[in-house]
Amino acid sequence: MILRLLSLFLLINAASTLAQSQVEQMPIIDYQNRFLPQVGSQGMVVGPEKLAAEIGQEILRQGGNAVDAAVATGFALAVTYPQAGNLGGGGFMLIHLAEPNKQVFIDYREMAPGRAHRDMYLDEAGAVDRQSLYFSYLSAGVPGTVAGLLHALENYGTLTVRQVLQPAVDLALKGIPVTYALHSAIGSRKERLLQDPGASMAYLIEGETPSLGSTFVQPDLGRVLQSIRDNGRSGFYEGWVAKTISEAMQDNGGIVSEADLKNYRVVEREPVRGSYHGYDIVSAPPPSSGGTHIIEMLNILEGFDLVSMGHNSAAYIHHVVEAMKIAYADRAAHMGDPDFSPVPVKQLLSKDYAAVRRSEINPQRARAPMEIQAGDFDDSESTDTTHFSVADTAGNVVANTYTLNFSFGSHIVVPGTGMLLNNEMADFMSKPGTPNAFGLIESQANEVSAGKRPLSSMSPTLVFKEGRPWLATGSPGGSLIISTVMQTILNAMTFDMNVAAAAGSARVHHQWMPDTLRLESGISKDTVDKLKAMGHPVEENVRTLGRTQSIMLQDGWFLGATDTRRPGGWVAGAQ
């Protein structure tokens, strides 16, 4: 208790000292750019939804640190942003602690249940049963979110579980207004939600989407949040909540047991680290593939004069895309849970390796991917992970990405809990050579095994400039996450874009397989024609690729940007 009070006192003192010094130096913002960040001086939370971001900011105002605010935001998003905020999923949190100046990576990815096995999603003909993989009780891994957020709070926060959870309890029990963003999120998944009685009960009113402006109450979810508030981790992983989940599993062909829930463990891992023209990048290690391949791509690109090519010129996109193909090919071959098989992270991150791979790139011609058996690319399911970034005035920064996998996960709500189950088991390789829901080919390193964590692309990332935190970012989007985060930080580091411009500029994506170059709108026809002439199989004007939530730190100022191309994102702490 004394320690908590002391850290609160230090935080408040640090905040007022910073506030005085800021008056001296205003932030540098290029107002000619059409994308502009929002500015604050008292900490900031940038997330996909307003109420949850404001709750995090209120925690900062009350003297909590960035971890307290991140945990409060994470629990609140489980109520306000049901398509991806969650209790029933998992994720990764990357923390920069100003004191003692170190980074901590918390892996709270879902784990395969004890009865999971390699061929569990194959039907009698040996084909992948996608209904079972995506939309059944069998789709769920053991959820990690509650354990992960509480681990962060207990080890790096300053407030109590009650203080950070009560706002989420209130939102669930008193209700939230149905905004356009919430209305359209639920409405777009209505048909699928209708197929599960628990999901229909939780999200629909007599089978219909809650109407705009009405109040949306989630009493069952509120009771689960109260149980966590009152009992901590055991309020979810033991007792009535765990029993309710495991009984629903037994009744519906699922395999997550009470023992699986009790045995869930959070892992602190060493983040991956790299450098790019004097900036330092810290990001997600395996079982995420994200950080490793972001750094691998940057290492390859560091040897090209991207500035001379010009941002989003045909030459620029060509080189970026060729680097993407190399990284995603490596992902397919090498990546999985490092606790189950070795992952060659060190080699993939090395500058020497990047130099060799760079030399393979033909500056004039697109290279065809290796021949490999590809199955159906199921792009019809929207994917919705979510990211938020938090920074406080004491210099602590958090980048958190968590997910249910698809938007609304398996679309199954465990009756009596109001809680959506993830369908993260779909991130494992279900059958060799068969692409997953993101079209990604993977190796045996990512086959299903009891207790294993499925390979992820989630990439909460921090960039440091002159040793100090400079940019926190991350994105949803499955396979798109890696290319989205890489382009966002590349835009800022190479082209000096402000954080909003870095987030808002048109992005491109190629993941080696399938052989498609996806371009957001905003790339000129002239450029598209040149890319086609170079041999790129272009798909134009695809839906928004990823959606970053970012904070840039500049001399005590907080510059926030939420990608405006999807509704509802919010910068809390702007003044």
Residue with tokens 């249910």: 404
Reported in sequence order, the residue ranges of 407-555 that DSSP labels E, i.e. its strands, are: 413-414, 419-420, 461-465, 468-473, 508-509, 517-519, 538-539, 549-554
Q: Which is nearer to ligand GLY, 145 or 385 (CB)?
A: 385
Q: Which is nearer to ligand GLY, 218 or 403 (CB)?
A: 403
Which residues is 269 bridged to in the sheet? 105
User: Closest separation between CB of residue 31 and ligand GLY, Å?
Assistant: 36
Q: What tokens were used for 199?
A: 């999901």
Distance CA 300, CA 318 (A): 13
Residue with tokens 């009865």: 115
In the complex, which residue's CB is closest to ligand GLY? 456
Q: Contact, 460 vs 285, CB < 8 A?
A: no
User: Closest separation between CB of residue 336 and ligand GLY, Å?
Assistant: 13
Distance CA 92, CA 107 (A): 5
Q: Which is nearer to ligand GLY, 419 or 458 (CB)?
A: 458
The backbone torsions φ and ψ at residue 418, rounded to the nearest 5 degrees and listed phi first, read 65, 15
Crossing angle between the packed helical segments 351-359 and 314-334, to the nearest 10 degrees: 120
Residue 503's contacts (CB-CB under 8 Å, 6 or more residues apart) are 35, 473, 488, 548, 550, 561, 562, 563
Q: Which is nearer to ligand GLY, 474 or 504 (CB)?
A: 474
Q: Which is nearer to ligand GLY, 230 or 376 (CB)?
A: 376
Maximum Cα–Cα distance across the chain? 71
DSSP string covering 120-187, please? TTB-TTS-B-HHHHHSSGGGPPBP-HHHHHHHHHHHH--S-HHHHHHHHHHHHHH-EE--HHHHHHHH
User: Closest separation between CB of residue 403 and ligand GLY, Å?
Assistant: 5
Catalytic residue among 385, 393, 548, 562: 385
Q: Which is nearer to ligand GLY, 232 or 478 (CB)?
A: 478
Q: What tokens were used for 269?
A: 């891992």
Q: Which is nearer to ligand GLY, 196 or 381 (CB)?
A: 381
Q: What tokens were used for 452?
A: 């294993």
Query: Quick check: is 160 catalytic?
Result: no
Q: DSSP alpha helices (H): ranges in 372-498?
A: 480-495
User: Closest separation between CB of residue 74 and ligand GLY, Å?
Assistant: 16
Contacts with ligand GLY by CB under 6 A lie at: 385, 403, 405, 424, 427, 456-458, 478
| Number of residues written out for the chain | 575
479 burial level (CB within 10 Å; 0-12, 13-18, 19+): buried
The residues that are catalytic are 385
